[in-house]
Amino acid sequence: MGVGIGLATGRPGASTGGGGVPSFLTDLIEYWPLADLVGEHAGRVLTNNGSVTFGAGHIDQCAAFSGSNYLDMAAPASLQTGDIDYTLAAWVKLNSVVANSAIISQGQYSSELWYDGGWDTFSFTQRRVDGGDSISAGSGSYRLEPASTGTWYHVVGWYTASDGKAHLRVNAGTERISSAAGFTPAVSSSNFAIGRRPDGAHNMDGYISDAAFWKRALTSAEIVDLYAAGTGLAYPFA
């Protein structure tokens, strides 16, 4: 899939090659470029808590988090995860590699794409809704290489309900896969958050852009296309 210019925004987008609808739009729930609070796909508006600021990012603009502020919104059924196939993706640049830092999270302890300060690596975690058992791809024995401050990373985490496993790829690199969950992830109506967990933990100190949520598992080829050799591929992908 080649790279073109998104017609609606002027930002990098995917060429369809034949004028068709890019596969990225299939089951896409929302895409927040984070130039402001508004999602470009369905127009969902985030709430700014603690004065998150916006400025120059990797593809275009980004949200800047200080470690005490975050973005969130209520999570109706369309924004809830649970025991379904889904994908969370974003570009992130860290100011600190010491503390745990949430990139995208939904539900009370439920689904989290984050930086694990204890293991010094990015991680994707699926938990039981009560905060009990969990599975992670990227941390522990499934650990990726350490992250660095001041560097933009494309982080993609997804869950596959058929085998109960979490998956993670950073910069379209080697896929890390967790063990099978051994539990059924419950659905949570707690908020959908960027830059912090809904329970108030894992505040981000860094920058996030192009946060996206699909209710399906992206393919390997799609993840490579989104990374676009480090350039990044942005909505509307056409």
Residue 124 domain-assigned (yes or no): yes
Residue 235 domain-assigned (yes or no): no
Residue 58 domain-assigned (yes or no): yes
Per-residue pLDDT reduced to its tens digit, 182-204: 888 878 889 999 999 999 999 99
Residue 214 domain-assigned (yes or no): yes
Per-residue pLDDT reduced to its tens digit, 124-182: 999 876 666 788 897 655 566 789 999 999 999 999 999 999 999 999 999 999 988 88
> What's the angle, vertex CA 34, arms to CA 135 and CA 72, rounded to 5?
55
Q: Whole-angstrom distance between the N-terminal and C-terminal Cα of the chain?
A: 11
Per-residue pLDDT reduced to its tens digit, 57-99: 999 999 999 999 999 999 999 999 989 999 999 999 999 998 9
Domain that holds residue 122: 27-230
Indicate the number of domains in the chain.
1
Q: What pLDDT is attached to residue 143?
A: 63
53 touches 208 (CB < 8 A): no
Other Cβ atoms less than 10 A from the Cβ of 53: the count is 12
- Nearest in space to 217 (alpha carbons), one of 177, 171, 173: 177
Residue 5 domain-assigned (yes or no): no
pTM score: 0.90
Residue 20 domain-assigned (yes or no): no
Residue 162 domain-assigned (yes or no): yes
Residue 194 domain-assigned (yes or no): yes
pLDDT at 220 over 80: yes
> What's the angle, vertex CA 35, arms to CA 220 and CA 38, rounded to 5?
85
142: domain CATH number is 2.60.120.200
